[in-house]
Amino acid sequence: MDRHPLQVDIGKAVSGRSLAAKLIITLTLLLPLQPAVADAILEGQRHHPVKGVNGMVATSHTLATEVALEVLENGGNAMDAAVTAGFALAVTQPRSGNIGGGGFMLYAPGNGEAVEAIDYREKAPAAATETMFQDQDGNVVPNRSRFTHKAAGVPGTVAGLAMALERHGTLSLERALAPAIKLARDGFTVPDRFTEGLEQARDRLQRWPATLDTFYKEDGSPWQPGERFRQPELADTLQRIADQGAKGFYEGETAALIVEEMERHDGLITLDDLKNYQPKIRQPVHGTYRGHDIYSMSPPSSGGTHIVQILNILEGYPLAGFGHNSAASIHHMAEAMKLAYADRARYLGDTDFVDVPVEGLTSKAYGEALRKTIDPDRAHPSSDIQAGNPGAHESPETTHFSIVDRWGNAVSNTYTINFSYGSGITVAGAGFLLNNEMDDFSAKPGEPNAYGLIGGEANKVEPGKRMLSSMSPTIVRRDGRNYLVTGSPGGSRIITTTLQVVLNVVDHNMNMQSAVSAPRIHHQWLPDEIRIEQGISPDTVRLLENKGHKVVTGSAMGAIQSILIDSDGTLYGGADPRRSTSSAMGY
Ligand code: GLY
C-alpha cells in the first residue's frame, strides 16, 4: 500500500591528534594567531578572521590529518588543506581514499557568503544500458555491478579536487599533491587497520593480479603493522596529475592504462568517457532546524534532502525533553527515518536526468504532514508504507573529512569507491583501485542494492548519469556563521549517522566528541528494523519492542569526523573512535 500523504503533499508543498580507538582527543584550541604567514598568498580574499583560533583538520587517517594540518600551519586555507588531505588519503587508506572513485564537497566561506557544493560523483559510461546488470530473463546478476569491470563508473575525484582547488584554494595542484606523492614513493608505516583490511578482503582482492602485486607482498601476505608500504606506480600516476593537471589523469598515459584495463576485461569506460568527465557546481540543499541553517548535499546524493526532511519531521517533537537515546526519542527518530527512506526509493536520482521534488521533500509543510502520520505509541510497519525486499548488507567504506581554517572557512568532504577497496580491481600500471559505484544504481527498479536500498525508475542506469548516493557532507550555520562541519561514511547509514550528530549537538547540547562517539541507531524503511549499536540500554530496547519495533544490534555504524566552531571562535574536534586511525588535530 502506498503511503498516500507523501504523494499528495509533495506536489503541494511549496513549494590531539588521536590515534583513535587507542586515544581520542577532543581539541580545544586557545592558541593565539600565528604571524600572518599566508597574508601574501591570500591577499585579495575576503576572509574574516575567527577570533583566537587557528585551524583544525579531522580525517580518518592520522597521516592525512598531519599533512593537511601542515598546509594550514604554512598559511594555506581550508581548501588547500582539503585537497591535500584528499590526495593523501588516496595513498594511505586505499580501502576508501581514492583517485578511482568520486564524492561530494561542501565549501562554506568564513565570511558568511553562500555555501557551495561540488559534485564529483562518478558517471555511468556512455555505453551503459538500463539492463546491463540483468540476465536475459531480466533477473539481476548481483556481482556484475559489484566485482567486474562493468561495476566501475567514470571516476570523478581528480577532476573534483582539481576544480575545488582552482575555485577556492591558493596552492598549485603540484603543491597540494606533493605530500601524497612523497607518501606513495617513500612509503609509510602500516597501521593495524591497514593490515586487517587487506587480510579480510584477501579472497576478493587477490583475484586480480595487479591488486595482488600492488597491495600484498610477494608471498601474498598483507604488509604487517610497522612495516613500510610503498606504491611507486601510484606515485607516478599522481606525478602525472601534478605535472599536467586533471588532464594528467583523464588523458594521456593514465587514461590509456584505464582503457586498456577495461578492454582486457569487457569493461565499458572509454577514452571519450574519461575526457568528457566534468564535476559540477550544485546548489546545496538548505533547511532550518531549531534556529540553525542546515546545508547538505543535493542530488545526485540523497543525503541532504533526507537529513533536512527528517529534521523537519523531528522539529515538532521535544527531543531534548525525551532524552538522548530514550525509547521516545528513538521511536520518533526511527519513524521519521522510515518515511524518508521510503521517499528516497521512489523519488531520488540524478537531477540532470530526472525531476526530483527536493523542494517539496524538504519543505516544512511536508515535514508537518509526515509528522501527523506518526503514532507516538506504535511503530508503523514498513509493509504498510510500501512493499520491498531487503538485500544483504555489504561492508561500506567511504571516508569523510572536515577542515576549518583560521579565517573560519570550512570544507566538508565525503568521497568513496563504494565497498571497501571498491571493485577490488587495480588499474594495471597505474596503481589505484577502481570504484564499484555502478551498484548504487537500481540494477532493476524495485531490487535492492548492496545496502538493501531499494531504487526506482528515477535511479535506473542511463549513459552519462550519476548514480544515487547517500553521502551527506554537512555544514550547519548559526547566526550566519559556520558552526558545525560534519559527515560520515557508512553506505545507507551515512544519512542517519550524520543526522544524529546534528541532533546530539543541537538538541542534546553534547560537546563535539560526545556527539561523535554516542551510540547510534538507524532505520532505512526496509528491512523493517531499528539497527542499534552497542550502548543502548536493554530497558530502552524493551520499550521499543513494546511499541512494535524489531530492534537488532549490529556492528558500529559510520565514522564521523567533525569540527565545531563555538561562538567565541574556539574549535572543537570530534574524531570517531569507531576507526582506529581517526584523528582530529589543530594548531
Ligand atoms: N556508495 C555509497 C554512496 O554513495 O552512498
Would you state the pLDDT for residue 436? 98
pTM: 0.91
Task: Write the residue with the smallest CA distance to atom 4 of ligand 1.
Answer: 469
| The pLDDT of residue 210 is above 70 | yes
Q: List the strands of the sheet with 561-565, edge to edge.
A: 285-289, 292-296, 474-478, 481-486, 561-565, 571-575
Ligand 1 atom showing the smallest separation from residue 451 Cα: 2
Would you state the pLDDT for residue 452? 81
Distance 150 CA to ligand 1 centre (A): 17
Yes or no: say if 159 and 101 are a contact pair by the CB < 8 Å rule.
Answer: no
Task: Write the residue with the smallest CA distance to atom 1 of ligand 1.
Answer: 418
Cis peptide before 300 (omega within 30 of 0): yes
Maximum CA pair distance of the chain?
68
Distance 492 CA to ligand 1 centre (A): 7
Distance 473 CA to ligand 1 centre (A): 12
Ligand 1 atom showing the smallest separation from residue 303 Cα: 5
Ligand 1 atom showing the smallest separation from residue 302 Cα: 5
| The pLDDT of residue 409 is above 80 | yes
Residue with cell 526496509: 526
470, 524, 557: which to mutate for ligand 1, most atoms within 8 A of CB? 470
Distance 44 CA to ligand 1 centre (A): 37
Task: Write the residue with the smallest CA distance to atom 3 of ligand 1.
Answer: 469
Report the pocket of ligand 1 as residue ranges, CB < 6 Å.
Answer: 398, 416, 418, 437, 440, 469-471, 491
In tens, the pLDDT along 116-135 reads 999 999 999 999 999 999 99
Distance 30 CA to ligand 1 centre (A): 37
CA distance 258 to 250: 9
Would you state the pLDDT for residue 497? 98
CA distance 149 to 125: 11
398, 439, 492: which to mutate for ligand 1, most atoms within 8 A of CB? 398
Residue range 169-187: average pLDDT? 98
In tens, the pLDDT along 363-404 reads 999 999 999 999 999 999 999 886 222 233 345 679 999 999
Would you state the pLDDT for residue 82? 98
CA dihedral 466, 470, 473, 477 (to 10 degrees): 110
* Strand 551-553 relative to strand 561-565, pairing: unpaired
469, 492, 496: which to mutate for ligand 1, most atoms within 8 A of CB? 469
| The pLDDT of residue 276 is above 90 | yes
Report DSSP letters for 259-297, one per residue: HHHHHHTT----HHHHHH---EEEPPEEEEETTEEEEEP
Would you state the pLDDT for residue 14? 26
| The pLDDT of residue 15 is above 90 | no
Q: Using pLDDT thresholds of 50, 70 and 90, give the confidence band for residue 453.
A: confident
Ligand 1 atom showing the smallest separation from residue 467 Cα: 4
Distance 585 CA to ligand 1 centre (A): 27
419, 440, 557: which to mutate for ligand 1, most atoms within 8 A of CB? 440
Distance 438 CA to ligand 1 centre (A): 10
In tens, the pLDDT along 46-80 reads 334 444 469 999 999 999 999 999 999 999 999 99
Report DSSP letters for 472-533, one per residue: --EEEEETTEEEEEE----GGGHHHHHHHHHHHHHTT---HHHHHHS--EE--SSS-SEEE-
Ligand 1 atom showing the smallest separation from residue 492 Cα: 5
Q: Which residues are catalytic?
A: 398
How far, in Å, are 51, 171, 405, 510 from residue 74 at the CA level?
19, 11, 11, 32
Mean residue pLDDT of the chain comes to 90
Residue 211 C-alpha cell reads as 591488486
Ligand 1 atom showing the smallest separation from residue 121 Cα: 4
